[in-house]
Amino acid sequence: MVKIGVIGAGGNGAGHARYYHESPRSEVVAIADPDGKRASALAAECSAEALSDYRDLLGAVDAVVISSPNQFHRDHAVECAGAGRHIYCEKPMGLSAAQAAEIASAVRQAGVRSVIGFSVRFSAAIQTMQRFVREGRVGDLISIWSRRLFFMDLSEHPGWRADHALSGGLLFEVNIHELDWLMAMGGELESVYARAYARGQAGPPANDHIWVTLNFAGGVVGTHEGSQVSAVSQYHRGLMGTRGAMETTGWGSRLHFAEPGSAALEVEQDEAFDLRGHFLDCIESGASSVADVEWGLKVMTAADAILESAATGQVATV
Ligand SMILES: NC(=O)c1ccc[n+]([C@@H]2O[C@H](COP(=O)([O-])OP(=O)(O)OC[C@H]3O[C@@H](n4cnc5c(N)ncnc54)[C@H](O)[C@@H]3O)[C@@H](O)[C@H]2O)c1
């Protein structure tokens, strides 16, 4: 039975807590959140202890799930790993590649297991797209793309999410997911070219809308456009190879495959990969993490390069 502590009792932390409470392989021992009401309500649901300071749970757990606001991820991850606790750290892995490097170093030194919460890559659609690529059904990959546009109403999201210095803006808070899966599919990333727009805050690094081109060593090109200031919503992912192409529709829920010259057919999707269960596998049986801090550091290094390119107007090497 893996003893888990959950740090941050917001909507996302609650999802993690319920999962590990319901799993027969783990037990949620404590929930830490300075918001006492939230901590107590979630702790009561999971028969756990409510604490205001995450440091007070370290003595009682094997592993932590860090689901606090983004600006705390570095400190929480470094401290928990340093105390010898396995870490499931929500994305982003800190607010810069330098912070991610501190987390990776703490994990390496402590020899603990790590998972970064790149949940989107493990969704059914992306898992299925990856399998089609692996099985050679799209031939040699040429292009991968994503477009994720929505409108974030600032009046409904006060606090850390609306403040780019605390959240990292759209790129770190939301589109780090897209960067993760595009990188997982495209191979070694060589350089990026990006532009960014920010509403009401000077940017970059402030960013509410980004355009990114990813140049992979093998010749694959990735493109992404993301927005949290768009009046129209769209969530579209796709890829194209020498023998076929795939795309999602319906806010990413449906997936289609077409071979050149034939109509696109809807594909039955694989099961989503259980990243939370995988964290337990890493701890219990030494499974190799599919999204560890070393990978997270690569993604954060690419994210920094995107901001650098957006600031300079030049291609940035990764
Ligand atoms: N992987 C995903 O798909 C996914 C989805 C949603 C959110 N997230 C991430 O999860 C994290 C939390 O998101 P959320 O939507 O639950 O946010 P939220 O604002 O709803 O909740 C954050 C909670 O953290 C608490 N908190 C603040 N300071 C703290 C501290 N020092 N120690 C412990 N808790 C503290 C707040 O009181 C709040 O209850 C963010 O990093 C976000 O990026 C990931």
Domain CATH number, residue 257: 3.30.360.10
184 and 207: one domain? yes
Assigned domain for 276 exists? no
Atom 38 in ligand 1: residue holding the nearest Cα: 10
| pLDDT for 204 | 83
128 and 113: one domain? no
Distance 292 CA to ligand 1 centre (A): 20
| pLDDT for 30 | 98
Assigned domain for 45 exists? yes
152 and 224: one domain? yes
Query: For residue 159, which atom of ligand 1 is closest to its CA?
Result: 19
71 and 166: one domain? no
Assigned domain for 287 exists? no
Q: In a mutational test of the pocket of ligand 1, which residue from 40, 67, 171 has the highest number of ligand atoms less than 8 Å from its CB?
A: 67
- Domain end (from 119, 150, 185): 119
CATH number of the domain at 6, please.
Answer: 3.40.50.720
Atom 13 in ligand 1: residue holding the nearest Cα: 12
**Which pair of structure tokens corresponds to residue 52?**
């205001």
Relative to beta strand 63-66, strand 86-89 is parallel
Q: Indicate the average pLDDT of the chain.
A: 96
Atom 22 in ligand 1: residue holding the nearest Cα: 10
Q: Judge whether residue 214 has pLDDT over 90.
A: yes
**According to the 3-state scheme, what is the secondary structure of 133-161?**
HHCCCCCCEEEEEEEEEEECCCCCCCHHH
Question: How far, in Å, CA of 312 to CA of 16, rounded?
Answer: 39
Assigned domain for 78 exists? yes
Q: Which domain holds residue 156?
A: 123-271+293-317
| pLDDT for 156 | 84
pLDDT, average across residues 145-160: 90
| pLDDT for 302 | 98
115 and 129: one domain? no
Assigned domain for 235 exists? yes
- Domain end (from 86, 119, 152): 119
57 and 206: one domain? no
Q: Longest C-alpha distance within the chain, in Å?
A: 62
Query: For residue 68, which atom of ligand 1 is closest to its CA?
Result: 24
11 and 83: one domain? yes
Distance 72 CA to ligand 1 centre (A): 9
Q: Binning pLDDT at 50, 70 and 90, where does residue 155 land?
A: confident
Structural element, H or E, at residue 257: strand 254-258
Write out pLDDT tens, residues 20-73.
Answer: 999 999 999 999 999 999 999 999 999 999 999 999 999 999 999 999 999 999
Question: How far, in Å, CA of 159 to CA of 70, rounded?
Answer: 12
Assigned domain for 284 exists? no
Query: For residue 13, which atom of ligand 1 is closest to its CA?
Result: 16
253 and 305: one domain? yes
- Domain end (from 73, 93, 119): 119
Assigned domain for 277 exists? no
Write out pLDDT tens, residues 111-120.
Answer: 999 999 999 9
Query: For residue 70, which atom of ligand 1 is closest to its CA?
Result: 41
23 and 159: one domain? no
Q: Say how many residues make up the chain.
A: 318
Q: In a mutational test of the pocket of ligand 1, which residue from 68, 121, 122 has the highest number of ligand atoms less than 8 Å from its CB?
A: 68
112 and 7: one domain? yes
Q: Hey, is 25 helix, strand or coil?
A: coil
| pLDDT for 158 | 73
**Torsions phi, psi of 28, nearest 5?**
-90, 115
171 and 88: one domain? no
| pLDDT for 135 | 97
Write out pLDDT tens, residues 248-287.
Answer: 998 888 999 999 999 999 999 999 999 999 999 999 999 9
Q: Binning pLDDT at 50, 70 and 90, where does residue 154 land?
A: confident
Count of domains observed in the chain:
2
Q: Could you say which DSSP state residue 172 is in?
A: I
Percent of the chain with pLDDT over 70: 100
Assigned domain for 279 exists? no
Write out pLDDT tens, residues 156-213.
Answer: 877 999 899 999 999 999 999 999 999 999 999 999 999 999 998 777 889 999 999 9
Question: How far, in Å, CA of 81 to CA of 86, rounded?
Answer: 6
Q: Judge whether residue 107 has pLDDT over 90.
A: yes
80 and 222: one domain? no
| pLDDT for 203 | 75
